[in-house]
Amino acid sequence: MSVDVLGFGAVPLGNLYRALPEREAAATVEAAIEAGIRYFDTAPLYGLGLSERRLGLYLSGLPRDEYVLSTKVGRRLHPSARARNAGIFVDSPPFRDEFDFSRDGILRQVEDSLQRLGVDRLDCVVLHDLGLWHMGSTEIVDAHFQSLEQSGLQALRELRNNGVIRAIGAGANELTLCDRFLALGELDFILLALRYTLLDQSGGEFLGRAHDSGVSIVVGAPFQSGILATGVTPGAHYNYSTTPLEITRRVERLQAVCLAHGVPLKAAALQFPLQNQAVSSVLVGMGGAGEVTENLAMTKADIPETLWRALRQERLIN
């Protein structure tokens, strides 16, 4: 399977930070299709089903064989008494999510995603949020890993063997879990978020190990959830939260070096992960037609080697 260098992240379609009007959401996906983007990633968590429903509707006019569709498993949706805000997602439908990496849970989740997306098969399924950041304790993480190893992986193998899915991946933003995912021996790729960017290259050594193991890497959140796209502006997001002062100062230094070389910070942020041979694609959340056009242009912007050299000299990248 091959994927675009720039993948369409459908997180904003789930009303990330703000309610995205239906017309604007549809125009975003339409712009991506017209621009030739054919790799789309979503998840049940994104707006508690809203992102999947919207993406499936907007892609319905495109022949199924012409695009790569990825969603996630591990968070099962259940009807809830009332609609609520789901953390960073606003105006969510009336559901709640629950972690479930069991065989029955994964089979049910894939079936639910197929219905929301309106398709008969998926290209990629990604294990979602299996880690301390989201679960809170090693005991809970270990229990879900045990469930995955005992029966969940079997379900994914069956789905892959039956042609319902084509590739199995794992989403990770905690490096301590990356090698544990690699040791499962079943993964085709890892979606590494936040750990190989202009602000954080801590995942670099792991990328080498994954490459040597034949496991592909998709880099997610190359803008560190916002600030590497917007630059230093009021309310800029870093790791899906407010930006600490030391990060603000580091971004200011990055901006200054990029400006001196005539390169937009956003272009450098998008192209940096692609310098590593282990990385197949960068996955970017897009919440407007203008963002699609700009992101695509940034992946094609001319970046001189002198910029990367200057960033290394300033110890901003390693």
Residues 126-139 have pLDDT tens digits of 999 999 888 999 99
**Which pLDDT band holds residue 88 (cuts at 50, 70, 90)?**
confident
Domains in the chain, please, with CATH? 6-243+266-303 (3.20.20.100)
Report the pLDDT averaged over residues 259-264.
97
Judge contact between 75 and 99, C-beta under 8 A.
yes
Report the pLDDT averaged over residues 69-84.
88
For 35-46, write each residue's pLDDT tens digit.
999 999 999 999
> How far is residue 156's CA from residue 160's CA, in Å, rounded to a whole number?
6
Q: What are phi and psi of 252, to 5 degrees?
A: -60, -40
SS3 28: helix
Predicted local confidence at residue 81, as pLDDT? 75
Predicted local confidence at residue 124, as pLDDT? 98
CA atoms within 13 A on the CB side of 235: 1
> How far is residue 110's CA from residue 282's CA, in Å, rounded to a whole number?
24
Q: What are phi and psi of 83, to 5 degrees?
A: -70, 150
Predicted local confidence at residue 67, as pLDDT? 98
Residues 6+ apart with CB under 8 A from 209: 179, 182
Percent of the chain scoring above 70 in pLDDT: 98
Predicted local confidence at residue 17, as pLDDT? 87
Average pLDDT of the chain is: 95
Q: Is the pLDDT of residue 176 over 90?
A: no
For 141-164, write each residue's pLDDT tens digit.
999 999 999 999 999 999 999 999
Burial 55-89 (b: 16+ CB within 10 A, else e): bbbbbeeeeeeebbbbbbbbbbbeeeeeebebeeb
SS3 276: coil
Helix intervals (H) in 118-232: 132-135, 138-147, 153-161, 175-183, 204-212, 227-230
Structure tokens at 303: 């970046």
Predicted local confidence at residue 222, as pLDDT? 96
Predicted local confidence at residue 87, as pLDDT? 75
Predicted local confidence at residue 82, as pLDDT? 65
- Name the residue type at position 111: E
- Compute the chain's Rg from CA coordinates: 19
Predicted local confidence at residue 83, as pLDDT? 56
Q: Is the pLDDT of residue 85 over 70?
A: no
Predicted local confidence at residue 86, as pLDDT? 62
Q: Residue 305 to residues 190, 198, 281, 302, 308: CA-CA distances in angstroms?
A: 28, 15, 20, 10, 5
- Give catalytic residues, as residue numbers: 46
> How far is residue 49's CA from residue 71's CA, in Å, rounded to a whole number?
11
Judge contact between 7 and 280, C-beta under 8 A.
no
**Which pLDDT band holds residue 84 (cuts at 50, 70, 90)?**
low
